[in-house]
Structure 1
């Protein structure tokens, strides 16, 4: 996978995130019985307190059963826990040199173009190489890994997917990422971290988290024939990519000879899941956003984009926050759109790379 041309904005800025409310909902507090839930709800309503991730709770707001507090932490929470040796902070940004200009104190730098991928055979980083990388950055089996980055955590979410793919059990994203941390005037450091050698070993890749071309083609052929499909497809690219008006956002070189989308896919741009400050929308708004397109967790979901990374952000929202059964199709449109004989929907009428 090759790197996008450096840009100061995400490629889907033409499709900004939406949502009127910006309150955070109280996350899942175990499999509590109804009486305990009622007590906790009463306490929140009276005190206006937050959850373990540092999210403020709106008084009188119903408790939503989600995984938010298990997988997302606030800037306040991270700032208060930077000295905890059981936490390892990792930055995954796309803009060259941004980490070197200053990063969250103690944060390790992972390069998405080399650390998360096998650069020659266009695949995910091998189990052996990922083990070596994480051990160099001091990660043990019980380490809490907190990832953050630029562009609303777009590539930090890719890192979270890789960690989950190889079985690390405690992986979180920093809500709002680097932009929110900087906007709040929080401390940045230029020094390189010096962690001790870690002991975590990557496991076998979890097949439940990854979809491959044959899986997607099977769904596409069923959708093309008008049959009911057992899997929902979510294309998270911008509307212009989805409709075939463009082959890739300006400045991004990885493309396909055909434009359009996979039959049966619905279009929910990844950036719609975040607020203006880069934080995730409240859980009820996230559920409603995807439910409007028929994505409600009632059947397995496959998310895809152009080269796999943007879709990891949607994978994180749907699977890690909302708890749906989701696979990432990391081959995405550059694989599918270059494959001979597969069905394609092209609303714009572009043919073989000619608009």
Structure 2
């Protein structure tokens, strides 16, 4: 595959890359310096390992939240039972099904801005609120909430908590949530955050060449249409991927409960996947939740124009009518290997000295 990046990157791009790589080292060093002895883990040291420094957007650590707690609306993206059992004090539970809602248009499925805005309004979020989203980790439920806010044109800042609730050592709440007065959320849809099926169909044959970057965020077995694989969705009429797409499984963005080392992410997407941070990049998956992890990760490391195909491969593979306009490819494959794991448990650390 031939990328569009020039070997003569400008000085600003090089500076951004340097800052990101420096931030990765600083974060690791900072976390390592917090423990008093090798066998001790305290709430403070657990919290410290999730701090974020350097030129990384949208991801913040527990220290940032402690400093800004009174100035942000905190949203919990986990399931209702997890929320009731334990949550950051004062957090509001996100109605997840509503913020993943889609509507059908002549061009294909797109985010349902009215339904999404109504869901945020129901929990008292106003368009100009600064928002902090957290979950059990920085997995795709969290990033879908961030995307949904962007899709309805949210005016306030949107950040996500690195490490999730396990890294928070501040006040916690339990039980049923306190009622928050609903507000009217008048959406200002931002079509620049997504593309539809027809937008993609018009550009088939140009992806990752003369046109936009295109990233398939599914597991390689689904991308490759591996015969007999459990990764193949039985509901799909066709298997494979959009022509020209490069496969980078979204789990590579996450290391346990935190974002992957920023320097590693820069290498993964700019060097190995050969994406151009200054050009449009589209991400898609089987649905419209998991690929939002890649959407936010690319924005966090400085990509200028990142968009989600909200209809996903499920829409593309099962489209009615002339399927020649919506081809599925299996012969040409570019898979970028990733390493990652998503921590989903709610347990904290061991807060005693054991040796």
Give the structure-2-normalised TM-score: 0.69
Query: Take 1:148 and 1:119, find their aligned partners in 2: how far apart are those partners?
Result: 26
Of 340-349 and 292-301, deviating more is 340-349
Q: After TM superposition, give the deviation of residue 177 of structure 1 in Å.
A: 2.2
Q: After TM superposition, give the deviation of residue 248 of structure 1 in Å.
A: 8.3
Alignment partner of 2:183 out of 195, 198, 209: 198
Whether the 8 Å CA contact 1:103–1:190 is kept in 2: the answer is no
Tell me the equivalent position of 2:243: 263
Query: Take 1:56 and 1:158, find their aligned partners in 2: how far apart are those partners?
Result: 20
1:285 paired with 2:272, answer: no
Whether the 8 Å CA contact 2:59–2:300 is kept in 1: the answer is no
1:149 paired with 2:145, answer: no
Whether the 8 Å CA contact 1:262–1:343 is kept in 2: the answer is yes
Give the match's secondary structure for 2:139: helix
Query: Take 2:120 and 2:265, find their aligned partners in 1: how far apart are those partners?
Result: 32
Query: Take 1:248 and 1:207, find their aligned partners in 2: how far apart are those partners?
Result: 35
Q: After TM superposition, give the deviation of residue 330 of structure 1 in Å.
A: 1.1
| 1:178–1:23 CA distance, 2 compared to 1 (3 A) | farther
Whether the 8 Å CA contact 2:118–2:184 is kept in 1: the answer is no
Q: After TM superposition, give the deviation of residue 22 of structure 1 in Å.
A: 5.7
1:98 paired with 2:91, answer: no
1:272 paired with 2:268, answer: no
Task: Count residues with an aligned counterpart.
Answer: 283
Query: Take 1:141 and 1:212, find their aligned partners in 2: how far apart are those partners?
Result: 25
Uncovered stretches (5+) of structure 2, i.e. residues with no partner: 1-20, 29-49, 334-355
User: For residues 282-313 of structure 1, what are the alpha-carbon distances to aligned partners after superposition, in whole Å with 9 as ceiling and x for unaligned?
Assistant: 43322111011111314211100001211111
Query: Take 1:197 and 1:96, find their aligned partners in 2: how far apart are those partners?
Result: 19
Question: Relative CO higher for 1 or 2, CA cutoff 8 Å, sep ≥ 6?
Answer: 2
What is the CA RMSD across the aligned residues, in angstroms? 3.4
User: For residues 230-267 of structure 1, what are the alpha-carbon distances to aligned partners after superposition, in whole Å with 9 as ceiling and x for unaligned?
Assistant: 111001111111111269866x9784111111111111
Tell me the equivalent position of 1:167: 153
Give the structure-1-normalised TM-score: 0.69
Q: After TM superposition, give the deviation of residue 56 of structure 1 in Å.
A: 5.7
